Every structure is written in structure tokens, then in C-alpha cells.
């Protein structure tokens, strides 16, 4: 269990990823469970990179540990890591400096607050989004609500169906912002491009309760009108999803203190941009 109160610490934004939360994450990424997961995820990405070259974006890349595993295997591919933490990107630069030498394609990093719809080019062939924890504050969420009104309405209906009382707002915020992040992932990809998501999970998709199944599809942008009467826009097609039991689920336990997250693993899902 971690000593950090994540809810309170991250309530003011992603700043703590430059200090105590960042240190917690870096320590986590060094354990055997994360090393095994990155190895497994990298093999999924290599299978998707069928072309000789292209652009891979790592969204919320942290210290870029996944990219580090991929840059030698895919030498002609360009890599762009995007993250909002200067400390994380400083960590990424330390390994990237050596890897760039003699490499034909670029390895770059961009400091940006995500979701970010301000830079629309270049479009990626592949985008990866692993172990997400995209932090947002209320004022940012309210701005996105003005832009993505139908997502706001559907997230609100889903949250009210599932929760009562105080829990509704937290669930709504999470559903809505995950959906905006998925729209941002789609925005950064070319049509037909691939998105590889790695989400913490307590089981394979078909083992999840009906609400969690629908919420996951809504959040990632792959829910279609046949699966829900709410008529959400579909912007990704789900190609496959595979569940791996793993102690990485304890990242969620650390953040929530909820014992339900002592068991579980992660889902690797492959989506195609429509
Ligand atoms: C749990 S770490 C995952 C890092 C990486 N994807 C991995 O698998 O190692 C979450 C990362 O998201 C970044 N992050 C969180 N909220 C963000 C935001 N609003 N904008 C940009 N980056 C953010 C953090 O700085 C951190 O590097």
C-alpha cells in the first residue's frame, strides 16, 4: 500500500507526477511485473507494425519504457512520446540520447497537457496508451463538455444508471474524460491506423459485468448503436482484446486502497481508427 493520498494529491492537476506520484510510478515500473508486462505489450506492438516504417506515438509515455523496448526492433520507425510531466520526460531523454546515435529515424518527446487537440499533424500509424491515469481538473473537464456535448449526455446517463448519491459525479467524470481521451487518440491517428490500449482490468471483457462491458466500449469509442440505445458515435473498431492476469493491478490498489484491486491484471486491446 502507498502512503500517498492519490485523490487529494492529484485533485490539483498532474503536477505531482513531477514529484511524489512520479517517484511512486518510476519505482513501480522497475518491478518484475511491470517489466514482464512491457515485454508482452511490446510484442503486441511489433506484430501491429507490419509496414517497414511509420510513426508510433506513445500517449502519456512516462519515462518511455515501452518505446525504449521498441526503438531497436523497429529502427526505421519514428517515435513520438507525449507527456505532461517534465520529470518523466527528463527520464525518457536519458535513455533516448544514446539510442538516437546512428538510428535512421527520429525519437522525439513532446511536453503537453493531455487531451490536446491543438496539434493535428503528423498523424500516427500506431498509437499506444498504456496504464492510463490521465489527470484533469474540473475547469478543464467543463471546457471539454462544451465541445463534446453528446459524450457529456451519454456519460451522464450511464453514470446515473449505475451509481447513486456522491458516486455519480466521480463515475461521470471518469467516463466522460476517458471518452475525450479516446477521441484525442483517434484525432492523432490516420484513418485505418491502430490504437493499442492497455487498461487495468479485473478480468477478460466477457467476464466483466454488463455495465463494465458497455462502459469500456463507450470510453474507448468502440460502442455501436446496436450495443446501446444511447446511440453513441463509434470512432474505433475493436479488433481484439486479450486479458493477462498480473500483479500490475496493484497499481490501482495503491491508488484506491480498494481490496478488490489486489487481484486482476490488464487488458491489451487493439482498435482500428474508423
Ligand atoms: C501511470 S503513468 C503511465 C506511463 C506510461 N504510459 C507507462 O505505461 O509507463 C501516467 C502518465 O501519464 C502522464 N499524465 C497524467 N495526466 C496527464 C495529462 N493530463 N497530460 C499529460 N500527461 C499526463 C503522467 O505524467 C505519467 O507519465
Q: What is the CATH number of the domain that holds 75?
A: 3.40.50.150
- 25 in a domain, yes or no? yes
Structural domain of residue 245, as residue ranges? 6-136+179-273
- 63 in a domain, yes or no? yes
Q: State the pLDDT at residue 227.
A: 72
- 168 in a domain, yes or no? no
Helix (H), strand (E) at residue 65: helix 65-70
Under a CB-based contact definition with an 8 Å cutoff, are residues 183 and 239 in contact? no
The total number of structural domains in the chain stands at 1
Q: What phi and psi values does residue 54 have, to the nearest 5 degrees?
A: 170, -165
- Measured from the CA of 251, which atom of ligand 1 is nearest? 1
Residues 155 and 171: their CA atoms lie apart, in Å, by: 9
Q: State the pLDDT at residue 140.
A: 96
The DSSP code sequence of 253-264 is HHHH--GGGGS-
Nearest-CA residue for ligand 1 atom 25 is 85
- 220 in a domain, yes or no? yes
Most informative mutation of 83, 91, 117, 253 for ligand 1 (most atoms within 8 A of CB): 83
Distance of CA 172 from the midpoint of ligand 1 (Å): 21
- Measured from the CA of 58, which atom of ligand 1 is nearest? 6
Distance of CA 14 from the midpoint of ligand 1 (Å): 8
- The whole-model pTM stands at 0.96
In tens digits, what is the pLDDT along the chain, a chain of 274 residues? 678 999 999 999 999 999 999 999 999 999 999 999 999 999 999 999 999 999 999 999 999 999 999 999 999 999 999 999 999 999 999 999 999 999 999 999 999 999 999 998 889 999 999 999 999 999 999 999 999 999 999 999 999 999 988 899 999 999 999 999 999 999 999 999 999 999 999 999 999 999 999 999 999 999 987 777 778 899 999 999 999 999 999 999 999 999 999 999 999 999 999 9
**Cα–Cα separations (whole angstroms), residue 108 to 42, 101, 202, 271:** 18, 13, 34, 24
- 260 in a domain, yes or no? yes
Residues 240 and 92: their CA atoms lie apart, in Å, by: 30
Residues 227 and 230: their CA atoms lie apart, in Å, by: 9
- 172 in a domain, yes or no? no
Q: State the pLDDT at residue 165.
A: 85
The distance from CA 218 to its chain's CA centroid, rounded to whole angstroms, is: 14
Q: State the pLDDT at residue 8.
A: 94
- 69 in a domain, yes or no? yes
- 120 in a domain, yes or no? yes
Start-to-end Cα distance in the chain? 41
Amino acid at each position: 500500500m502507498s502512503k500517498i493520498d492519490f485523490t487529494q494529491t492529484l485533485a490539483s492537476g498532474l503536477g505531482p507526477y513531477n514529484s511524489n506520484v512520479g517517484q511512486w510510478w518510476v519505482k513501480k515500473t522497475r518491478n518484475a511485473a511491470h517489466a514482464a508486462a512491457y515485454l508482452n505489450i511490446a510484442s503486441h506492438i511489433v506484430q501491429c507494425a507490419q509496414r517497414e516504417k511509420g510513426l508510433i506515438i506513445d500517449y502519456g509515455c512516462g519515462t518511455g519504457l515501452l518505446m525504449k523496448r521498441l526503438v531497436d526492433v523497429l529502427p526505421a520507425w519514428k517515435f513520438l512520446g507525449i507527456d505532461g510531466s517534465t520529470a518523466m520526460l527528463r527520464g525518457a531523454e536519458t535513455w533516448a540520447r544514446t539510442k538516437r546515435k546512428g538510428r535512421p529515424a527520429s525519437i522525439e518527446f513532446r511536453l503537453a497537457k493531455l487531451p490536446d487537440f491543438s496539434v493535428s499533424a503528423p498523424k500516427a500509424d500506431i498509437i499506444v496508451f498504456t496504464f492510463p491515469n490521465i489527470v484533469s481538473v474540473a475547469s478543464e473537464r467543463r471546457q471539454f463538455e462544451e465541445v463534446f456535448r453528446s459524450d457529456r449526455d451519454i456519460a451522464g446517463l450511464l453514470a446515473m444508471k449505475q451509481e447513486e448519491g456522491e458516486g455519480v459525479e466521480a463515475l461521470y467524470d471518469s467516463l466522460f474524460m476517458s471518452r475525450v481521451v479516446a477521441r484525442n487518440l483517434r484525432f492523432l491517428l490516420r484513418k485505418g491506423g491502430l490504437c493499442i490500449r492497455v487498461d487495468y482490468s479485473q478480468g477478460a471483457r466477457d467476464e466483466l459485468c454488463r455495465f463494465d462491458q458497455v462502459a469500456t466500449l463507450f470510453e474507448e469509442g468502440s460502442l455501436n448503436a446496436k450495443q446501446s440505445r444511447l446511440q453513441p458515435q463509434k470512432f474505433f473498431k475493436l479488433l481484439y482484446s486479450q486479458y493477462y492476469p498480473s500483479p500490475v493491478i496493484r497499481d490501482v490498489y495503491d491508488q484506491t486502497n480498494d481490496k478488490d484491486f489486489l487481484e486482476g491484471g490488464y487488458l491489451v486491446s487493439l482498435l482500428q481508427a474508423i
